């Protein structure tokens, strides 16, 4: 599954070997469970001057397509932070947009229909800025609209 993860990152041109290597020692891997969901995330570490000094990440062990998609989601968060290390930390106005987009792309491309549909319905229910993604994904055909 790890190879599938790396191949996807490369396929969508978000693979960054330096970032991957940096994150290896900064990542805690958990067994995926209901309890562990509260800890999954990417955490910027800033100093007293609000300079991004480090990144910590907590992800589930990749055992299936769902845990792989969660790892993609968190990797995108971490990659965006990585590119701004040692710069002033500014919270993203739309922090979930790119991570959710890439997660949905992965789910769609790998025909993980149940979770893809669940995710789309969850986005609809939230009725926030993520609904823009509904215009990109055609739920019925599972195609990215170009």
Tell me the per-residue pLDDT of 57-78, one tens digit each, with 9 for 90 and over.
999 999 999 999 999 999 999 9
Residue 142 has pLDDT above 80, yes or no: no
* Residues of the domain holding 90: 2-144
Split into its structural domains, the chain has a count of: 1
| pLDDT at residue 136, rounded to an integer | 87
Please state, in angstroms and rounded to a whole number, the distance separating the CA atoms of residues 101 and 73.
Answer: 8
Q: Which residue has the higher pLDDT, 142 or 40?
A: 40
| pLDDT at residue 51, rounded to an integer | 98
pLDDT tens digits for range 92-126: 999 999 999 999 999 999 999 999 999 999 999 99
| pLDDT at residue 124, rounded to an integer | 93
- pTM value > 0.85: yes
């Amino acid at each position: 599954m790890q190879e599938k993860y790396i191949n996807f990152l490369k396929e969508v041109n978000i693979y960054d070997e330096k970032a991957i290597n940096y994150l290896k020692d900064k990542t805690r891997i958990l067994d995926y469970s209901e309890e562990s969901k509260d800890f999954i995330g990417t955490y910027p570490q800033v100093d007293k001057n609000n300079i991004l000094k480090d990144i910590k990440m907590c992800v589930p062990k990749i055992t299936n397509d769902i845990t792989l998609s969660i790892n993609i989601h968190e990797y995108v968060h971490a990659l965006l932070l990585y590119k701004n290390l040692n710069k002033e930390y500014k919270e993203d106005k739309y922090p979930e947009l790119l991570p959710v987009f890439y997660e949905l792309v992965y789910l769609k491309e790998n025909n993980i229909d149940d979770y893809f549909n669940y995710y789309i319905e969850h986005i609809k229910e939230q009725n926030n800025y993520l609904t823009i993604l509904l215009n990109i994904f055609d739920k019925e055909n599972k195609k990215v609209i170009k």
